A and B are shown apart, each in its own frame.
Chain A
Amino acid sequence: MTVTAERPATKGFIGQPIDRVDGRAKVTGAARYAADAPVDAPLFAVIVQSTIARGRMTAIDETATRAVPGVVEVVTYKNAPRVPTLPFDFMVPVQEELAPLQTDEIHYDGQHVAAVVGTTFEAAREGAALLRIAYEQRDAELTIDDAHQVDLPAQWFGSDIQPRRGEPEAAFEASEVRIDATYVTPLENHNPLEPSVTVAEWRDGDLIVHDSTQWVRGTRAALAKHFALDEERVHVIAPFLGGGFGCKGFFWPHAAIAAMAAKLTNRPVKLVLTREQMFTSCGRRSSTRQHLRVGASRDGRLKSVLHDVIGESSRVGMFVESAGGVTEMLYDVPNVAITHRVARLDVATPTAMRAPGEAPGSYALGSALDELAYACGLDPLDVLRRNHAGTDPSNGLPFSSKHLLACYERGAEAFGWSTRTHAPRSMRENGELIGWGVATATYPAMRAPAQARVTIGADGTIDVATATHDLGTGMYTILAQIAADALGVHPDAVRVRIGDSQFPNAPVAGGSMSSASVGPAVQDAAQRAYREALAVAISSGASPLHGLTGDAVEARDGMLRAKDDPSRAIPYADVVKLAETGAIEVLGGAAPGDEDEKFSFHSFGAQFVEVRFDEELARLRVSRALGVFDCGRILNAKTARSQMIGGITWGIGMALFEETVRDGRFGAVVTNNLADYHVPVNADIPNIEVEFVEEPDYNLNSLGARGIGEIGITGVAAAIANAVYHATGVRVRDLPIVPEKLLGSAAV
């Protein structure tokens, strides 16, 4: 039968700052990450990596390794199951086009060349340490300056990445004020606290994998292709992820190696990368060198921007750090030229790292606009305001919902920006120089098709299942809130199950699109479940709601009830009994339509930062940070605030600490640990204030929500570099801003 009904009454859990529904599991140690998978008596695999950048293996001596008690197998190209090299594909997300352990060839330092399998981790580790490999080295190209092959890809992820509009060169030359500067950002590594893990087991020809992936369906697709299986025969499970930030979004070779080792030994195999191995095994952010030429009138209005980016990728995989993207759309500039070049080096393959493109691009552009402000003698915030784009200058489309000016206003007010004195080195307190900086944050708002299944059980509880992920983003919680509102129940009555390839399809947990994609799918499924329950409740003779029309009924407090007579009510559990099917189970989904032909979808924000610099100690600290964001409707005020604090913390790390140093002669990462690669620690991070301009964006989806995973980092490094200039008078154009770059700051 067909039932028409209004949306069930909203109790309004969406947006509320409720505690994470998976919080108890995480604070008690009950949350099961991939390495904690409930697999009986697994073998342990430890990877051995190449120690040369290019060449081939001439001999592998396994004698000492196999003599270690407990070592049961050594997997190398000599005995590994044959698997094909897979080309990169959007649905088979192999970032590195290099099937592991298939040949003796070495393409970069840190390439997996063997896996030692033991009955204990200790045996495998000892065996791995004793494996002797002889190499024949060939000359390698290891720095952008060395590169002979430099690509100029026309497109990246469907976008033109060499765009031009107007007459940028001529307009730049004709501009009253010109900034011509090069900004450099280093290699960086994601360093989620959980190293990448694959626990693989073959059962009757099926492959079961517990994997630390941001995309169970993508991992399933790649493993199925590697082992020539139907996708249904590969089961990928990832209920909890110890962070990802992009390095677990694509498929990386270790997962295939774990499956190979399990196949060879006919036992479950647990493979956990070491922290050191993480630096070459699952991507990193490319370095960038960004040449910016900015032309403007004396009143700070942009006339032309030319943004030439060069980054790196490997010989065996392509990734473009598309730093010029922000320049194309962020400000109202009539003349623009952007180029992206990629030096192909004998190095490990880079990948997406939180706000790929936008993070380094917003640093360069945000710095250049601050330089412009000082060249014009203008307040930097005024320059940002003056160049505000009302429509997207890259395509002429209106923004779906843009409240960036409100972000600037609220941020300036809350930060106290009006009391800033303009001149560098003009603010001091307690002997320290103080600097205030501002920059714009931006990140595209994307969505992808997603599905979800909602089941109302015999006890009235709601089960939500979808193949999305919670990387710490709060996905479990917001999906419970969304389902609760659609069904008129409390979130405690909703059980959310995610991170399983057998659940309905969801996209990669990346690109800040999960909330905007999966949220509407769960909402749709929950609304369908409500309508099914409603149909039973008003058609069954045994129901107190029998005979009512759908729009005379509402869902509240776990019950369906008559709007005009709350005593006529039936709990979901009783509706399920009447349905006589044991449960009400529905599949729902949501997908983008043609809205991107009508609107440009982006989130925005304003980052305000205060730094303090002690000249005697050359000690630089971020002492205050404030981000005001325009990201549509916020689905959980508590977890959203946390995610933004995390993003800003990443921005502080990017600005001040983080750098993956690679030896330019031999290609090894020399900062391959957390003592040499500095991520922010507690004492580095001040109080961070976060505000949202909560304007729902219903042009993007039914929830009005845009994703918030990445925008938090954007603009932060620029705001810090600008604050450093304000404090010290030193313009640092290469990150990170370590103290030695400020030593010449003044007549100390």
Chain B
Amino acid sequence: MPTADPSLAPARSTIPLTLRLNGREATFVVEPQVTLLDLLRDRAGLEGTKKGCDRGQCGACTVLVNGRRTLSCLALALPHAGDDITTIEGLADGDVLHPVQAAFVEHDAFQCGFCTPGQILSAVAVIAEGRAHGDDAIREAMSGNVCRCGAYPNIVAAIAAVQGAR
């Protein structure tokens, strides 16, 4: 079987990329096929963002791009040059949890916690979009984020509580 010494193989083209991660400018050199999710997890050390399906079907990888919720597994990294990315690590203010994070703890809006970063970022955006008025509206707007543990009623309660306190 022929083998190729990887050190001799031609390297793929790599392109510098600068974006803002949780308020801080960060620069990487990446190949074009790198997704925003894999950039965050494997290169930026932001492993709070989760990979549940890698094809945009579960919502675990949801991050905010310029405030808009985005499936980072379906987004290539390079087009996001200059964008402002918020991940779960960037939500709390020091030790003070974001109100949605605090509400998720209080309402037990998760079990295993794997979908939780995506749920919370989705929830932050849904509230900001003004779509969190009423339980049915919350259910509809949050249906892109699968929770296999089945914490949905508690997720709705947590979001409704934050919305109600606004």
Contact = CB atoms under 8 A, between A and B. Distances in A.
A66 B153 contact: no
A198 to B, nearest CB: 15
A28 B89 contact: yes
A132 to B, nearest CB: 11
B84 interface: no
Nearest to A197: B51
A496 B10 CA distance: 50
Most B CB contacts (10 A, CB to CB) among A19, A23, A31 go to A23
> Which of A26, A473, A646 has the most C-beta atoms of chain B within 10 angstroms of its own C-beta?
A26
Given A23-B105, A275-B55, A679-B148, A193 B115 contact: yes
A69 B10 contact: yes
B104 to A, nearest CB: 5
Q: How large is the interface on A (under 10, 10 to 19, 20 to 34, 35 or more residues)?
A: 35 or more
A682 B155 contact: yes
B149 A243 contact: yes
B26 interface: no
B2 A66 contact: yes
Interface stretch (A280-288, A312-320, A333-341, A635-643): A635-643
Interface stretch (A99-107, A118-126, A407-415, A693-701): A118-126
B58 interface: yes
B145 interface: yes
A639 B112 CA distance: 11
A27 B104 contact: yes
Contact of A29 (B87, B110, B142, B151): B87
Interface in A222-276: 240-243, 245, 272, 274-275
A648 interface: yes
Given A26-B110, A120-B42, A680-B150, A674 B57 contact: yes
A572 interface: no
Given A27-B116, A63-B2, A645-B151, A472 B110 contact: yes
Given A119-B6, A646-B151, A638 B112 contact: no
Contact of A193 (B60, B89, B97, B102): B60
B112 A192 contact: yes
Nearest to B101: A27
Contact of B114 (A28, A62, A193, A687): A193
B33 interface: yes
Interface string B92-111: 10000100011011101011
A151 interface: no
A648 B55 CA distance: 27
B9 A69 contact: yes
Contact of B108 (A120, A194, A639): A639
Contact of B57 (A24, A72, A126, A673): A673
Given A19-B106, A28-B88, A650 B47 contact: no
Nearest to A689: B153
Contacts of A68: 9
Nearest to A674: B57
A647 interface: yes
Contacts of A673: 53, 55, 57
Given A23-B105, A62-B1, A682-B142, A643 B111 contact: yes
Nearest to B151: A642
Interface residues of B, number: 68
Interface string A1-38: 00000000000000000011011111111111101100
A724 B88 CA distance: 41
A193 B106 contact: no
Interface in B145-164: 145-156
Interface in A66-92: 66-72, 78
B136 to A, nearest CB: 8
A272 B4 CA distance: 25
A687 B52 contact: no
B112 A241 contact: yes
A123 to B, nearest CB: 8
A747 interface: no
Contacts of A679: 146, 148
Interface string A667-688: 0000001110001111111111
Centre residue among B49, B97, B144, B147 by max chain A CB count within 10 A: B147
Interface in A186-239: 191-195
Contact of B143 (A26, A31, A682): A682
Interface in A603-657: 638-639, 641-643, 645-650
A330 interface: no
Interface string B32-44: 0110001001100
Nearest to A29: B48
A103 B108 CA distance: 48
> Closest 9 A-B residue pairs measured CB to CB?
A29-B48, A242-B114, A649-B150, A472-B112, A472-B111, A26-B113, A646-B150, A29-B88, A674-B57
Given A673-B53, A674-B58, 10 more contacts: A23-B108, A27-B120, A33-B50, A66-B2, A193-B60, A241-B112, A243-B112, A649-B152, A685-B153, A688-B153
28 contacts: A19-B106, A20-B105, A20-B108, A24-B105, A27-B97, A27-B101, A27-B113, A28-B92, A29-B117, A33-B50, A33-B114, A63-B2, A67-B9, A68-B9, A69-B6, A120-B42, A121-B42, A193-B148, A194-B112, A242-B50, A243-B111, A471-B111, A472-B112, A473-B111, A642-B151, A642-B154, A682-B140, A682-B145
